[in-house]
Amino acid sequence: MDVEGAELGILRGMSGVIERVSPILFVEVHDHLANTRSPSKDVAALLIDRGYDVREVDKMKGESGEIGMKPIEKDSSIGQNSVLVASHSA
C-alpha cells in the first residue's frame, strides 16, 4: 500500500477486511506527508494491536539480494520513509 500519507485512515477503514481475512500487508509510510505526529508508529501500533507481526524492510543484504527485516514493537524507532511488512501471527 503506497497512499502518500493516508495509510492510517485506510487501514482503519479496512478494519473489517483485516479482521476477517488477515491479509499480509506491505505498507509504505511517509511521516512527512501525514497529518499526525508519527504515522509510522501509529500504523505499526494499529497492526500490532490486531495481532500482526510487523517488520520494517531494512536493506538489501549482499549479492544474494536477501531483504533485511527489522522486527517492530510499539515503541520501536521507524524510519520516516519506510516499508512495513505485516503478517498475522499464528
pLDDT digits (tens, 9 = 90+) for 27-39: 988 766 555 555 7
pTM: 0.81
Supply the pLDDT for residue 50: 92
The whole-angstrom separation of Cα 31 and Cα 13 is: 19
Tens of pLDDT, residue by residue over 43-73, are: 999 999 999 999 998 776 666 667 788 899 9
The rounded percent of the chain whose pLDDT value lies above 90 is: 38
Query: 72 CB contacts (<8 Å, ≥6 apart)?
Result: 44, 48, 54, 55, 56, 78, 84
Arithmetic mean of pLDDT, 20-32: 86
Q: Distance (Å, rounded) from C-alpha 24 to C-alpha 26?
A: 7
